[in-house]
Amino acid sequence: MSIRARFDTESEHVDLVQPNDGYQYATILATLVAPLSRGNITLTSTDTQDLPIINIPALQSPTDQQVTVASYKRVRQACASSFMQKIIIGDEYYPGASVQTDAQILEAIKGTLQAVWHASSICKMGLSADSMAVVDSHARVYGVKGVRVVDASAFPSLPPGHPRSTIYALAEKIADLIKNGQSYSGSGPHQEQSHTTIDSREFGIPSTPTYTSLHNTWTIFTSCQPGQ
């Protein structure tokens, strides 16, 4: 929601919902940190240069809708506090005081919804019996030899907070498993010479070697938002 307010300092960069009327406007955001709505990614071909189809059904879950509407109402309560009233001028600018019912609030939210970067769970960790699971508890990709996914992609769901520390913890855990010799054969030190191969029976695409190595170590990749 956007409000008109007095500030002690002026910003040169205005990226808010505000009219050009000489006043400064502030937008207060509420973030859904552990959404239950689930999207999907569909490969369009076997060519890695072809972009996939990404489906993001935001606020599809009734629980997400309820939490988001409640968060919006909480923001309004904060704006109505005696402290905020000292700097707020006039009424709420967007979406406005006329938006009151849960249905109206939800529609307003859908019209201004934006992501806050932390995409996750596209290669979820799970049991082999789970058709949606991509990696096992050691982050090893089902049906593929020599490949692990060690970043937020492997999360079954997004944790309720900033994911960086959880990504670090996952990377440390899998790194320890690899250093201690937890290979595909089970246990013990190993020196592996193999092709990284996709199982065409499971994935329906050509089983073509893509990488060959002789190694005692693995490389762990983690993905974090810079500066956060």
Cα dist from 37 to 32, 65, 208, whole Å: 11, 10, 35
Among the options 13, 118, 162, 195, which is catalytic? 118
Active-site residue flag, 118: yes
**140, exposed or middle or buried, with CB in 10 Å at 0-12, 13-18, 19+?**
buried
Please report the DSSP string for 88-150 in residue order. B-SS--BS-TT--SHHHHHHHHHHH----S----TT-B--TT-TT--B-TT-BBTTBSS-B--
Q: Which residues are catalytic?
A: 118
